[in-house]
Amino acid sequence: MIIHEVGVVRMGEHPATSALNQYCQAHDVKNLFVTDGACFVTNADKNPTLTIMALTWRASDYLLDQAKKGNL
- Residue 1 predicted with pLDDT over 70: no
* CA-based R_g, the chain, Å: 13
Element holding 64 (H helix, E strand): helix 49-69
- Residue 4 predicted with pLDDT over 90: no
Residue 49 CA to residue 46 CA, distance in Å, equals 9
Encode pLDDT of 7-57 as tens digits. Answer: 889 999 999 999 999 999 999 998 999 999 898 887 767 788 898 999 999
- Taking the whole predicted model, whether its pTM rises above 0.85 is answered as no
Altogether, the residues listed in the chain come to a count of 72
> What pLDDT is stored for residue 6 in this prediction?
83
Q: Which domain holds residue 47?
A: 1-72
> What pLDDT is stored for residue 28 in this prediction?
95
Q: Considering its fold, how many domains does the chain have in total?
A: 1
